[in-house]
Structure 1
């Protein structure tokens, strides 16, 4: 967990200045416990917006717990070597798509309230862009009610409030 923690500090420290960076660094001052879902003040998570190979669509999931369309992602695991690796693992698990390619730099750092493990908490979500291979075939996981490919100008509803603003930076990452 030390390697993952060190990477989280490096990634968040490298994020542009702002409230999300400052709050996430303050959370990480607690040490590796800030990566665990049992830490009540919040914890670092990793997510990814999957973009089609031709950059015309994004893959979203209808989240099984809060019933909104969102990017793929979730909790980091102790054996994840980095936050980026956690985002790629989550995207692969939740999409069922093999051969995803992660852009190495985050596209967003978002802090949002959640109900986690029966308690109110915050996710400090490091968000990445992921490119799907041309032959991508998605498969719904146990964490989603549905998966769907959407054009940026035809997004589904209900859409999580912070999801739409990920599209432009995700597409730009692969142009």
Structure 2
């Protein structure tokens, strides 16, 4: 039997996109209510219900695992149960083991790691935005910039003096001077 598994992501918070991909090809779909790496009750239920020959289908590798270690643990468990994993985006199907070269698998692993980083970064930025925190490098106070420009244009101060007095670096000063 093919079982679908999905969980919310920043790009698909309601799992609608994943459901469109999995529902037509899976007999049953397990959906997590949250995107947290902890307390994955639906994944645990799915893993307990697996029988030999069953297959878990996910939209992408990042959906089922949160780290390389977690992925390896899941693959080992599936192997012990005689079950398989299929990912639609990466086109991985562990039932067809002999079709994958080492370079292809490494490429998938690198992309998997990038997806983890992207998702965690987006989550952090979304959390910060919801809590009123600005992202990016903090802006320098306008009075310090004005003072640094005046000091530079007076030609009486070195760049080192300007930085010590205002906290404005050479590159920041030049960036403001270009505008």
Tell me the TM-score normalized by structure 2.
0.25
Q: Which has the higher helix share?
A: 2
Using CA pairs under 8 Å that are at least 6 residues apart, name the structure with larger relative contact order, 1 or 2.
1
